[in-house]
């Protein structure tokens, strides 16, 4: 498979301290599935053998349930010259002191970045103050910290109060903590999720630049499948599952996986472009409204009974161009700076009032 992956995302477990409505993997405290710890170390070492690989992300479920093993995994990555990041709900950051002590152990092992999630669904299980404790502790240790806030039109999350926190606000304005909003996506949950037209319009142009994670990020799930992206809907798209790591190594799976034009197309232009082309061939395909998240479009695209079929029967005239463009992009060396460009952009320091205005756009008018 023509691929130069840069990030290994380890979905360490589907167990979580929370049970958020519409969690993409339906995680909760009763789930048992997890990658055995020795295998996590092994996958980091396998990733390090791939020349293009630069970083490892620890996620879940809740990766901090790994306890001291998480610290050791960070160290394995650091020893293999891979940068590290975690994604957490912050349940462990109960006080500023506890948060700092917990993060110090990871920072000493070379942790590179801290990511947290919060919003309506998360806040039912983890106080937003814990997320602030964690992000502030990370920033004060010099670790770039990012907080992802879920949003949808009827969100009741006290966003202004959150971002106006006296410890958080100055660090956001100084570019040491980034706040990003993400449309909370429909999965198996109960809450009806709708997005405002203004928000849909705002995020629309960002989607035509393609899916930056497909084939750049490889994920390993608790069943120990190797997956071609780390998208929210990865468990609902069979085509993204490349093979089982229980019988082959990462390198073997990549070597034995054939190239796939549709993945290249999504990578470069995004699933909306694939859907639009399929519609030009078969206008009876009905596209649901409200596909706010790029992964929702991707899930719709792959699971529709006609889309892949019509495209395979009549590939687009620009197919060879896209493949050439993709192949050329693989010759461009990826530096550590490239990898951190997204973080740097998010970390450039934001006026908190501007973020509040963005948030208002995502909400139904009162």
For ligand SF4, the closer CB: 179 or 274: 274
CB of 93 to ligand SF4, least distance (A): 13
| Burial status of residue 221 (CB atoms within 10 A of its CB: 0-12, 13-18, 19 or more) | buried
Which residues have a Cβ under 8 Å from the Cβ of 119 and sit 6 or more positions away? Answer: 149, 150, 151, 155, 157, 184
CB of 16 to ligand SF4, least distance (A): 3
Tell me the backbone φ, ψ of residue 34, rounded to 5 degrees.
-160, 150
Q: Which sign, positive or negative, has the C-alpha torsion 182, 186, 189, 193?
A: positive
Tokens of 156: 């009741």
CB of 79 to ligand SF4, least distance (A): 28
Tokens of 54: 């630069």
For ligand SF4, the closer CB: 183 or 350: 183
CB of 250 to ligand SF4, least distance (A): 18
For ligand SF4, the closer CB: 56 or 291: 291
For ligand SF4, the closer CB: 312 or 357: 312
Q: How far is CA 176 from the centre of its chain?
A: 20
Using CB under 6 A as the criterion, which residues of the chain lie in contact with ligand SF4 when the complex forms? 16, 18-20, 23, 27, 60-62, 89, 117, 122, 211, 213-214, 229, 231, 233-234, 237, 240, 266, 271, 294-295, 298
103 membership: H or E segment, kind and range: helix 96-108
For ligand SF4, the closer CB: 19 or 285: 19
CA distance 161 to 63: 27
For ligand SF4, the closer CB: 168 or 237: 237
CB of 116 to ligand SF4, least distance (A): 10
CA distance 60 to 51: 26
CA distance 329 to 324: 9
Residue whose CB is nearest to ligand SF4 in the complex, by number: 231
CB of 230 to ligand SF4, least distance (A): 6
């Amino acid at each position: 498979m023509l691929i130069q992956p840069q990030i290994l995302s380890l979905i360490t477990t589907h167990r979580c301290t929370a049970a958020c409505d519409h969690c993409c993997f339906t995680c909760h405290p009763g789930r048992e599935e997890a990658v055995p710890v020795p295998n996590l170390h092994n996958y980091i070492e396998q990733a390090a053998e791939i020349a293009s690989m630069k970083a490892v992300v620890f996620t879940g479920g809740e990766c901090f349930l790994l306890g001291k093993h998480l610290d050791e995994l960070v160290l394995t990555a650091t020893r293999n010259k891979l940068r590290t990041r975690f994604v957490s709900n912050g349940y462990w950051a109960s006080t500023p002191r506890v948060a700092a002590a917990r993060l110090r152990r990871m920072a000493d092992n070379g942790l590179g970045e801290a990511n947290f999630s919060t919003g309506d669904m998360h806040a039912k299980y983890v106080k937003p103050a814990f997320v602030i404790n964690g992000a502030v502790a990370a920033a004060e240790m010099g670790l770039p910290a990012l907080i992802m806030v879920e949003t949808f039109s009827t969100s009741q999350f006290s966003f202004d109060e959150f971002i106006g926190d006296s410890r958080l606000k100055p660090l956001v304005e100084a570019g040491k903590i980034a706040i990003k909003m993400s449309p909370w996506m429909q999965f198996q949950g109960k809450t009806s999720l709708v997005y405002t037209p203004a928000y849909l319009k705002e995020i629309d142009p960002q989607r035509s630049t393609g899916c930056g994670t497909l084939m750049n990020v490889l994920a390993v799930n608790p069943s120990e499948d190797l997956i071609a992206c780390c998208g929210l809907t990865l468990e609902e798209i069979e085509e993204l599952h490349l093979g089982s790591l229980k019988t082959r190594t990462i390198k073997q799976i990549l070597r034995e996986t054939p190239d796939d034009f549709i993945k290249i197309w999504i990578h470069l232009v995004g699933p909306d472009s694939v859907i639009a082309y399929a519609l030009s061939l078969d206008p009876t395909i009905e596209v649901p409204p409200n596909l706010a998240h790029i992964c929702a479009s991707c899930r719709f695209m792959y699971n529709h009974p006609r889309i892949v079929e019509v495209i395979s029967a009549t590939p687009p005239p620009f197919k060879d161009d896209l493949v050439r463009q993709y192949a050329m992009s693989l010759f461009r060396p990826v530096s550590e700076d490239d990898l951190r460009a997204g973080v740097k952009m998010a970390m450039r320091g934001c006026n908190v009032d501007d973020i509040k205005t963005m948030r208002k756009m995502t909400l139904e008018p009162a």
